[in-house]
Amino acid sequence: MALTDVRVAPPEPEPAAEITDRARHERRLGLILSAPAFVVMVFVTAYPLVYAVVLSLYNYRLTDPAGREFVGLGNYATVLTDPVWWSDFGTTLIITVVSVAVELVLGFAFAFVMYRVIRGRSWVRTGILIPYGIVTVVSAYIWQFAFQLDSGFVNQWFGLGDFNFFGERWSALFVIILSEIWKTTPFISLLLLAGLVQVPEEMQEAARVDGATAWQRLWRVTLPNMKAAIMVALLFRTLDAWRIFDNPFIMTRGANDTETLSFLAYRQNVTLVNLGAGSAVSVLLFLTVVVIAFIFVKGFRTDLSQVRGDR
Amino acid sequence: MGDRKAGVWWTVSGMVILVWALFPLLWMVSLSFKDPDTFRSQEPTFFPQDWVWDNYKTVFTDSLFTSALRNSIGIALIATALSVIIAMFAAYAIARMDYPGKKFLLSMALAIAMFPQAALVGPLFNMWRNLGIYDTWIGLIIPYLTFALPLSIWTMSAFFRQIPWEMEQAAQVDGATAWQAFRRVIVPLAAPGVFTTAILTFFFCWNEFLLAISLTSTDRARTVPAALSFFTGASQFESPITYIMAASVVVTIPVVILVLIFQRRIMAGLTAGAVKG
């Protein structure tokens, strides 16, 4: 059902003139009630985004306001030919792909357990919500200190001697991704659980009677019926992971090629107050998000506005 | 027999999930009770050799942390309240009325939910400085409000759609005024959805870090996540690790309390309207 089809019409038939009167009144009230939300969202996102586009066309450093000059697309050329952009792009891509893939598998496993478990069900469901609520910075510190040489237990437990996890790219990324997975798997598994509950039990039964194995039932009955849930979980987690900032900032400050795109935008804009190039990075980051959303919409052939609810 | 065996297996799996979710917290608590001077002199152990309260004393006497805690509580509560009120109007209109632009509003909210906040730090940094609200509460409340709105609007309109609105008319037929009918029938039905949305919004504001470090520079408005990243401990010669963990325990307590009390509601809120069909 489309979003506009929600039950809103007056229940009993009334004279035509009154309906239009009512409808007009309803339209006005609807617009008035929506206006504050609309205004706030435009003021803090649309307007600054346009402003970012404008800024990105200038060479503009806060440390040198007088030197501000129009450079057209020069900043974009600078950013896109800089190996730092591509290195950060790669890092972001690795973190996103690995964490979302692992979370999807793990999230499924958790969802199945939460669906089937009887003893201590509410304990499991309560427990799994706690990582979701933890402040990401806190989660980053927890994992960092666990893997750090002078404070952590990991090296001892796994006999790694004095291996420095934060001394090189891949092991540092491993810890960053681990923290990300710990914190956000609950979100994905709860969405999948909600999808799992919707799969009609009779269909499972029918497949069982027809002699389908557990594996066949999973692939032929369960998963196809959860398509909407999987889609929503994947889309939201992918875009969320793509914006990752807190974990690398806390754990490595971007050292050893662990800087992400959000980090780059922050560093250019806030640390270096290089607003021209920083805005170009911001706009490019925004565009990558649009492209990812577009790919998802095309790939899953789903109307985005219908992704959540109302069906 | 097979069923019982399967039941045991699921229970064990459930316990594994619990350990997976809670073990890192145990580590956080353990580290927060370690002696800041000696914890790194020997081989690090999982549990402290001596349990000490020093770290908690330090964080609560550190003005950086106490002011950050005040800022976090104030900013998160105000942003949550404003966001829920504004979103409530919009969600009510979306669930209840037919008007042009409704679909647009929902799509826009969805787009903002996916918006990379980092793309705004530059422009907001500059705008807020020009407007004189850089490093103030309001300078954080406005963007938090905005980024919490999409979630609030979607979640609340999903809850509101499930309300049988005809009941209000039925009450009016029974002699209640329109306002009485709304207050007595609809408000109690809508309250759980509003409340759930408020908890999720609070989590979001409590957790936010990127804007918090980009739009603040002093303890005037710096929230706990931002302050944590600047924490240096009692003196520059001491490692701040144990203090950071004590501070982390303090900011985790409200989250754990909310989760323990409102587990069902939070789950309902996270999945409201997300996966039907």
Is residue B276 a contact partner of residue A199, using CB atoms and an 8 Å limit? no
Return averaged pLDDT per consecutive 10 residues of chain A, 311 residues in all. 42 56 84 89 86 85 76 83 90 94 93 86 88 92 88 80 83 92 92 86 84 84 84 88 92 86 89 86 91 82 47 35
Q: Which amino acid is at B125?
A: F
User: Contacts of residue A28 in chain B, CB cutoff 8 Å?
Assistant: 99
pLDDT at residue A17 in the model? 55
Best CA proximity match to A179, nearest among A148, A133, A128, A136? A136
What does the alpha-carbon distance between residue B168 and residue A30 come to, in Å, rounded to a whole number?
Answer: 18
pLDDT at residue B237 in the model? 57
Instruction: Give pLDDT tens digits for B133-157.
Output: 998 999 999 999 988 998 889 888 8
Rounded to 5 degrees, φ, ψ at A68 are: -65, 125
A269 touches chain B (CB under 8 A): yes
Chain-chain contact of B25 with A186 (C-beta, under 8 angstroms): no
CA atoms B255, B256, B261, B262: torsion sign: positive
pLDDT at residue A9 in the model? 46
B120 touches chain A (CB under 8 A): yes
pLDDT at residue B41 in the model? 62
Chain-chain contact of A194 with B149 (C-beta, under 8 angstroms): no
Torsion of CA B107, B113, B114, B119, to 10 degrees: 120
The partner residue sitting opposite A279, judged by closest CB among B112, B122, B274, is B122
User: Contacts of residue A193 in chain B, CB cutoff 8 Å?
Assistant: 271
Chain-chain contact of A278 with B122 (C-beta, under 8 angstroms): yes
Place of tokens 């917290």: B25
pLDDT at residue B276 in the model? 46
Torsion of CA B47, B53, B54, B60, to 10 degrees: 120
User: Contacts of residue B10 in chain A, CB cutoff 8 Å?
Assistant: 113, 116-118
Residue B251 — very low, low, confident or very high, per pLDDT cuts 50/70/90?
very high
Distance from CA of B193 to the nearest CA of A (A): 15
User: Contacts of residue B256 in chain A, CB cutoff 8 Å?
Assistant: 130, 133
Cα B150–Cα B153–Cα B155 angle in degrees, nearest 5: 100
A97 touches chain B (CB under 8 A): no
Within 10 Å of residue B261's Cβ, how many Cβ atoms?
12
pLDDT at residue A19 in the model? 65
A10 touches chain B (CB under 8 A): no
Chain-chain contact of A52 with B119 (C-beta, under 8 angstroms): yes
Is residue B84 a contact partner of residue B159, using CB atoms and an 8 Å limit? no
B46 touches chain A (CB under 8 A): yes
pLDDT at residue B2 in the model? 60
Best CA proximity match to B251, nearest among B83, B48, B71, B52? B71
Distance from CA of B224 to the nearest CA of A (A): 9
Tell me: pLDDT of B210 over 60. yes
Distance from CA of B252 to the nearest CA of A (A): 6
Distance from CA of B157 to the nearest CA of A (A): 9
The partner residue sitting opposite B277, judged by closest CB among A4, A135, A228, is A228
| Among chain A residues, CA nearest to B151 | A308
| 3 state DSSP class of B208 | coil
Instruction: Give pLDDT tens digits for B3-19.
Output: 777 788 888 888 999 99
pLDDT at residue A297 in the model? 77
Q: Which amino acid is at A73?
A: L
Is residue A155 a contact partner of residue A162, using CB atoms and an 8 Å limit? yes
Best CA proximity match to A233, nearest among A196, A294, A198, A191? A191
Tell me: pLDDT of B53 over 70. yes
Instruction: Give pLDDT tens digits for A206-225.
Output: 888 888 888 888 888 888 88
Percent of chain A with pLDDT over 70: 90
The partner residue sitting opposite B123, judged by closest CB among A121, A266, A279, is A279
Residue B78 — very low, low, confident or very high, per pLDDT cuts 50/70/90?
very high
Percent of chain A with pLDDT over 90: 25
Largest distance between two CA atoms of chain B? 77
Chain-chain contact of B98 with A145 (C-beta, under 8 angstroms): no
Best CA proximity match to A113, nearest among A129, A124, A99? A124
A54 touches chain B (CB under 8 A): no
Is residue A146 a contact partner of residue B27, using CB atoms and an 8 Å limit? yes
Distance from CA of A70 to the nearest CA of B (A): 17
pLDDT at residue A68 in the model? 77
The partner residue sitting opposite B46, judged by closest CB among A118, A153, A282, is A153
Mutate which: B4, B26, B83, B99, vs A, most A CBs within 10 A: B99
What does the alpha-carbon distance between residue B160 and residue B75 come to, in Å, rounded to a whole number?
Answer: 27
Within 10 Å of residue B255's Cβ, how many Cβ atoms?
21
Chain-chain contact of A4 with B158 (C-beta, under 8 angstroms): no
Specify the long-range contacts of residues B62-66, CB closer than 8 Å, at least 24 apart.
B62/B231, B62/B234, B62/B243, B63/B219, B64/B219, B64/B222, B64/B227, B64/B230, B64/B231, B65/B224, B65/B227, B65/B231, B65/B247
pLDDT at residue A311 in the model? 35
The partner residue sitting opposite B24, judged by closest CB among A113, A142, A304, is A142
User: Contacts of residue A128 in chain B, CB cutoff 8 Å?
Assistant: 17-18, 21
Give me the residues of B, 85-114, that contact A with CB < 8 A: 86-87, 89-90, 92-103, 105-110, 112-114
pLDDT at residue B168 in the model? 81
B140 touches chain A (CB under 8 A): no
Size of interface A-B (CB pairs under 8 A): 351
**In sequence order, what are the residues at sequence separation of 6 or more whose Cβ sits closer than 8 angstroms to the Cβ of residue A146?**
A152, A153, A154, B24, B27
Chain-chain contact of A195 with B275 (C-beta, under 8 angstroms): yes
Distance from CA of B189 to the nearest CA of A (A): 17
The partner residue sitting opposite B154, judged by closest CB among A38, A139, A309, is A309
A125 touches chain B (CB under 8 A): yes
Report the first-to-last Cα separation within chain B, whole angstroms. Answer: 36
pLDDT at residue A137 in the model? 93
- ipTM for this prediction: 0.89
Best CA proximity match to B255, nearest among B266, B268, B242? B266
B230 touches chain A (CB under 8 A): no
Which tokens is A208 given? Answer: 């069982």
Chain-chain contact of B31 with A145 (C-beta, under 8 angstroms): yes
Instruction: Give pLDDT tens digits for A254-280.
Output: 888 889 899 999 998 888 888 888 889
